[in-house]
A and B are shown apart, each in its own frame.
Chain A
């Protein structure tokens, strides 16, 4: 939903959703005040959120929350100086105070060698499927109903359910001196559950979508309950190198971490990234891109600088192609932003928030069939880079780790610690699943398949 502002100030009060503020009007008003205050250029960003989350544990709801917030972020430019201030005070005095703070900060800032880069205006694409009325209108009763369905599946399997169900409407509006006027409402819903069996079993399942009606609580509950039932009484295996099949829940961590470490133009600029156009980092089966407009993910039409999203090919048949840019990195590189800017101030640089990995041709049986003796890993836990440039990451397996022999699951195993280069894992991809899942991780959304990797290094074990 991308639109132009109303020109009638009287229509603006209470013209947003649920009688709330007209966010683009607020962004424009903030921009007008900044320019009137003496800013040579400015960018007003509004991030409004109406969100709710129902959390359950021990097969009952234990936390249930809702929040409404509107955040104003002002980049205030004076010549080659820039300052940023933010606030959630939306009244006239709040806006003026915000402009005053941003201006004061900007005038204290050091003059830069280059001009301050704000997003360039351009045609804004439509992100079909970014907004769902059903998600925006999701009630506590709807969430409780889905949670009861998850719990019922757990009860049937004799396991205990834990998890959360979140529904969020995020409205982003940008008004800037170069001429950007953009507003979009985006929704997403995410249901996750961990289910535990009394004798050591643990299973996970997750579903994410822009449209809450696409999430089937009972199906998510059954998937996790099945895993929890099948992981009872796990056996210990020795750490070491094993071929693995990684479920999509694990693959999303791999892609998100690589996005964080290396697919950003700033990371490349600073020499801390592995990415380099033309460098081979994966097997021929690995193709990764970012696409904010693909309705298969969680779409968004533009970034937090108001620049329209462009599809960016990151890895094609194992070879690095391009990276994502925001206004600042694009200006330094002499090209256009790809629409991957984050809210200022942003020390991390541009970020791929909508990652996709190309599906392969392997069925699930074919993925497992390639394991003579290996592991099926449902998901990773608490991963962290040990050596960012080599993309060496450590983390644990969790909620469903299985020993596979001659293509068949033979036993659940106790969780293992891995210390593994994610780049080496991409290089070792020898099969890719044909089904993909849409998942929402800590580092954005991703649409990913399961993969089989020739060797994965496990360096420790735990007691469960």
Chain B
């Protein structure tokens, strides 16, 4: 761990070397990341892990092309080597360049940001966190018919120093915590699971108070019993029907069908060979493309309390902000960077984020939120529905390379009849085309149902990066949706 003065010297050295070698712009991030995880399996502590990572990455512009290099060795000699390598790489990039990079003119960034934390998860004794998770997991494992349970707790804290040749200089301390419990029931070839709040864990930018608020132990038995009940539940019927999505599924629908297609680097093709491109091309921005119904308001809000995409500045020094993506159903904006925004005549929306010190920043989701609508809570939407399916807790996801054709499976589905939840169905699935689906949205929950969820496992980029992104969602209803896909 470096002292503040040594850290400052390393940042300055990297920038000076990059400039001396010919960079017209350079920035450097020094990141220290601390992670702690607890894994419990079937009532027993399965794994305890603590991880620490520290290093720096230098990004340079030379002859209009990017270069990036990174190292875990925090020495001045290494700062020289890495900065020089980044410049050499940029020069190699320039040999296959058709359009020089132009950055927008954001003002230099200065300041400090820290995630508000009431109960520091790293200061709390480990045995307290273990005991909480064991209690919840055992409450699931004790339910008759459960084959095995899996529960997890994770916390991550990142100290990030950013400096750039334009004089920018910021410090951030970001803390994320999350947890989940999961019960599995197996009978022959049938394997069913129920998780709470989400199979991969529900996470927020917060302290341990967030984990306490989940009341894992209080939710355990009900979810485990539901896993067992699913084994003998009828298969979800096939056909077109109304579906009501619980936030535990709706957040991923927003993630896949709105978050990713509004990433402007993807729109310009830089993810084409990996995750794909986007149907939301710039001509649709100009023409006011109808993405969804009038009820659909989606915003990328890096200032939202508790979101995994909440910060002070992005990883190229652009201040956190709220950017409308869909307003009253009309497509109005993108997630963008200093390089991509000018190409559509805008300034960066501050969405450049890197997975640690060793990765280059990419356009990533911040908190992509479906805004609540006054009127009905999620329960009242169900009561307002004559016939349909209530779907909760994501089980699998898939969407095409332009983010149009999607298919999701949820852990649980309930029949809705006359405004009441009825029979339980297993293996529910639904599928559709993004804009047709969102245009069929005829009810969005109000503030009472609005929750901040998200995922710490959003994959993007080559080399691969894992992003922490938030999604505030209230639950919503969609008409005439194809459900029960495939042969069972």
Measured CA separation A63–B41 after assembly (Å): 41
Contact in complex: A105, B398 (CB < 8 Å): no
For the complex, count residues of A whose C-beta is within 8 A of B: 92
Contact in complex: B97, A61 (CB < 8 Å): yes
Residue A368, interface by CB 8 Å: no
Contact in complex: A55, B72 (CB < 8 Å): no
Contact in complex: B398, A457 (CB < 8 Å): no
Contact in complex: A383, B96 (CB < 8 Å): no
Measured CA separation A162–B277 after assembly (Å): 11
Residue from B89, B148, B398 in contact with A395 in the complex, judged by beta carbons closer than 8 Å: B398
| A 98-140 binary contact with B (CB < 8 Å = 1; else 0) | 1001101110111010000000000000000000000000011
Nearest residue (CB) in B for A51 is B463
Contact in complex: B41, A460 (CB < 8 Å): no
Chain A residues near B399 (CB, 8 Å)? 382, 396
Highest count of chain A CB atoms <10 Å: which of B45, B96, B488: B96
Residue B49, interface by CB 8 Å: yes
Chain B residues near A385 (CB, 8 Å)? 396
Interface residues of A (CB under 8 A from B): 51-71, 83-90, 97-98, 101-102, 104-106, 108-110, 112, 139-141, 143-144, 147-148, 151, 160, 162-164, 166, 192-194, 196, 270-272, 274, 344-347, 381-390, 392, 394-396, 398, 415, 417, 419-421, 457, 459-464
Contact in complex: B98, A457 (CB < 8 Å): no
Nearest residue (CB) in A for B98 is A60
Residue B282, interface by CB 8 Å: no
A419 nearest CB across to chain B (Å)? 3
Q: Apart from A394-B486, A419-B429, A461-B405, list 4 A-B contacts with CB within 8 A.
A: A69-B358, A164-B462, A274-B189, A457-B486
Contact in complex: B54, A83 (CB < 8 Å): no
Q: Is the interface of A mostly helix, strand, loop or mixed?
A: strand
Contact in complex: B71, A394 (CB < 8 Å): no
Measured CA separation A459–B408 after assembly (Å): 13
A381 and B48 contact, Cβ closer than 8 Å, known pairs A64-B92, A89-B54, A392-B486: no
Residue B150, interface by CB 8 Å: yes
Contact in complex: A86, B51 (CB < 8 Å): yes
A and B contact pairs by CB, cutoff 8 A, 22 listed = A60-B99, A61-B96, A63-B270, A64-B89, A65-B360, A67-B463, A68-B73, A84-B48, A105-B49, A110-B44, A110-B45, A140-B92, A166-B462, A382-B399, A383-B398, A384-B398, A385-B396, A390-B189, A396-B401, A398-B276, A419-B485, A421-B487
Measured CA separation A383–B359 after assembly (Å): 25
Chain B residues near A420 (CB, 8 Å)? 486
B200 nearest CB across to chain A (Å)? 12
Chain A residues near B395 (CB, 8 Å)? 386
Measured CA separation A32–B488 after assembly (Å): 55
Residue B46, interface by CB 8 Å: yes
Chain B residues near A60 (CB, 8 Å)? 96-99
Measured CA separation A49–B409 after assembly (Å): 37
Contact in complex: A65, B269 (CB < 8 Å): no
Query: Which positions 266-313 of chain B face chain A at CB distance < 8 Å?
Result: 268-276, 279
Residue from B67, B190, B402 in contact with A64 in the complex, judged by beta carbons closer than 8 Å: B67
Nearest residue (CB) in B for A442 is B464
Contact in complex: A381, B68 (CB < 8 Å): no
Chain B residues near A460 (CB, 8 Å)? 405, 407, 431, 482, 485
| B 118-137 binary contact with A (CB < 8 Å = 1; else 0) | 00000000110010000000
Chain A residues near B65 (CB, 8 Å)? 61, 64
Measured CA separation A453–B125 after assembly (Å): 56
Chain A residues near B429 (CB, 8 Å)? 386, 394, 419
Measured CA separation A151–B55 after assembly (Å): 34
Contact in complex: B463, A53 (CB < 8 Å): yes
A417 and B66 contact, Cβ closer than 8 Å, known pairs A105-B50, A386-B486: no
Residue B397, interface by CB 8 Å: yes
Nearest residue (CB) in B for A145 is B95
Nearest residue (CB) in B for A271 is B186
Query: Which positions 431-468 of chain B face chain A at CB distance < 8 Å?
Result: 431, 433, 462-463
